[in-house]
Amino acid sequence: MFKNAEGKSIVLNMAKAIHDNKAYLGEIDGLIGDGDHGMNMNKGFSCFSERFSDKKITFSEGLEELGMVLLNEIGGSMGPIYGTIFMEMADTANGADEIDLALFSKMLDAGMEGLFRIVDARVGDKTVVDTLSPACDVLHEALAAKKSFLEALENMKAAAIVGMESTKSLVAKFGRSSRLGERSRGVLDAGAVSCCIILCAMADGIKKLSSDQIGTI
């Protein structure tokens, strides 16, 4: 559990992770896409960091603002996809003072449901969904197994990584690389990678915050 009001650092941590992986994401997208994934993601996330680095906002407000920047200023595929995910997450958290595993799990579910309303991709189609969906699943399992938030986050990171890696052997069914058919097999999906980076940075950000707010998790 962490205080929503203190969660801005989590979003900044996500932005930093994207910034650090800008070139890597571009390279991956270059293999079977058009190479702009790192550039565009970084543009949106950096824009958020700059704009809100010295403003006081909550975790959910941060997600909302980040989503708005992506959707309204970045465009591409990432604008609608991450814009929707973050804004749905924010909507679900809104009003909450504290975010625990149950709420966090609900937020991620809402993000994925929102995404499913605008894209037809599902697990196995070599997209962001391959990372996001197992991450959601594993949080449900952790909740059912009454695991700690911390352990659940570790499980989520592991699931996101496995999900991301699963895209390597898949054939792309949506997006730019889907036209390659069999030729898209053998490399990771750029969106699945960025999603994994975001989820891991989110988890690490929450952990860091919790360790600062000793014992709150």
Partner 1 sequence: MQRILNDPDNIVDEMLVGFTKAHADIVTPTNNSRVLKYVGAPCKGRVGVATGGGSGHKPAFVGYIGKNMCDAVAVGEICTSPTAIAFLDAFRAADSGKGVACLYGNYSGDNMNVKMAIRMATKEGIEVKTVVANDDAASAPKDQCEKRRGVAGEIFMWKVGCAKAATGASLDEVITSAQKAIDNTRSVGIGLTPCTLPAVGHPNFTIEEGTMEVGIGHHGEPGIEVCPLESADQMARRMVDIVVNDYPFVEGNEVAVLVSGLGATPIMELYVLYAEVERLLHKKKIKIYKTYVGNYFTSLDMMGVTLTIMKLDDELKELMDMEAYSVGLKQA
Summarize as ranges the residues that interact with Mg ion (CB under 5 A).
Answer: 29, 33-34, 36-37
User: Which residues contact ligand ADP by CB under 6 A?
Assistant: 29, 33-34, 36-37, 40, 76-78, 81, 119, 121, 127-128, 174-176, 189-192
Q: Would you say 7 or 44 has its CB closer to ligand ADP? A: 44
Q: Which residue type sits at 100?
A: D
Binding of partner 1 by 114 (CB under 8 A): no
Binding of partner 1 by 34 (CB under 8 A): yes
Q: Would you say 177 or 210 has its CB closer to partner 1? A: 177
CB 193 within 8 A of CB 28: yes
Q: Which residues pair with 98 in a beta bridge?
A: 3
Q: Would you say 109 or 125 has its CB closer to partner 1? A: 125
What is the distance between the alpha carbons of residues 168 and 63, in angstroms, rounded to a whole number? 29
> CB neighbours of 81 closer than 8 A, spacing ≥ 6?
115, 118, 119, 128, 191
Q: Pinpoint the alpha helices (H) of the chain.
A: 8-20, 22-32, 37-52, 59-69, 78-93, 101-118, 129-144, 149-166, 190-212
The CA–CA distances, whole Å, from 110 to 50, 89, 172, 211 equal 27, 6, 24, 27
Binding of partner 1 by 49 (CB under 8 A): no
Instruction: Say which entry of partner 1, Mg ion, ligand ADP, none residue 79 contacts (CB below 5 to 8 A, set by partner kind).
Output: partner 1
Closest Cα to residue 59, out of 70, 67, 50, 69? Answer: 67
Binding segment for partner 1 among 51-59, 78-86, 106-114, 144-152 (CB under 8 A)? 78-86
Binding of partner 1 by 72 (CB under 8 A): yes
In the complex, minimum distance from the CB of residue 150 to Mg ion, in angstroms, rounded to a whole number? 35
Instruction: Say which entry of partner 1, Mg ion, ligand ADP, none residue 26 contacts (CB below 5 to 8 A, set by partner kind).
Output: partner 1
Single residue of 76, 91, 185, 216 touching partner 1 by CB under 8 A: 76
Single residue of 14, 15, 81, 85 touching partner 1 by CB under 8 A: 81
